[in-house]
A = this chain, B = another copy of it.
């Protein structure tokens, strides 16, 4: 479950031979909603959000991605979401056709795709429960706890805006803000800056995340 360190990842990764690494600047798009999905992307460094905009302007964040994650797996024909770099990113760009071909001859590649796909589905299921059956405070606590798992320290970086968080959790920006304030008031977390916080009471956070 825990991501291998980056360097190891890049060197061991049998996918590396199948594509090339590109650098993407903060805020720019990696692929667009409704575009043909001819590529897969392995995020080498940085962080990415996937967004879907509905006709009437509602916004849903599909997920946030970090180093090691495979992006674009769910898009068979066309991309259902737009992927945007939250900060400067390095991404390994892979032709979908090439990867699928490789998977039939190289068991390691097939393994990677299976596991990445299954992991993706499990993350989405967790996300579904978060959104479908949890209160505002639980959703925010769960999201923070989740980000904390990534960086193993108790210091959590939030590369995304409050609006992103809101659209990820199916809440409004005001509610997210209120819940974060509430967590602070209860000494569960402490904001260093708006985008960086320390988890003071991990137990309480996990409990709230339910």
Listed in ascending order, the chain A residues whose CB lies under 8 Å from chain B are: 52, 54-56, 58-60, 62, 73-76, 80-81, 100, 103-105, 107, 110-111, 113-115, 117-122, 124-129, 131-133, 169-170, 210
Contacts and interface: CB of A to CB of B under 8 A. Distances in A.
B124 A128 contact: yes
Nearest to A170: B132
Contact of A125 (B56, B74, B100, B132): B74
A56 B103 CA distance: 41
Contacts of A55: 210
A125 B56 CA distance: 18
B54 A125 contact: no
| Copies per assembly | 2
B76 A125 contact: no
A100 B121 contact: no
B122 A121 contact: no
A129 B76 contact: no
Given A52-B125, A80-B126, 13 more contacts: A54-B129, A60-B129, A60-B133, A74-B125, A75-B118, A76-B118, A76-B119, A80-B122, A100-B110, A103-B103, A124-B124, A127-B128, A132-B169
A98 B119 CA distance: 20
A130 to B, nearest CB: 9
Contacts of A113: 114
A1 B59 CA distance: 25
Contacts of A128: 60, 62, 124, 127-128, 131
Contacts of A104: 103-105, 107, 110
Contacts of A110: 100, 103-104, 110
Contacts of A131: 128, 131-132, 170
Contacts of A73: 117-118, 121
15 contacts: A55-B210, A62-B125, A62-B128, A73-B117, A74-B124, A76-B114, A76-B115, A76-B118, A76-B122, A100-B114, A117-B117, A124-B124, A124-B125, A128-B131, A132-B170
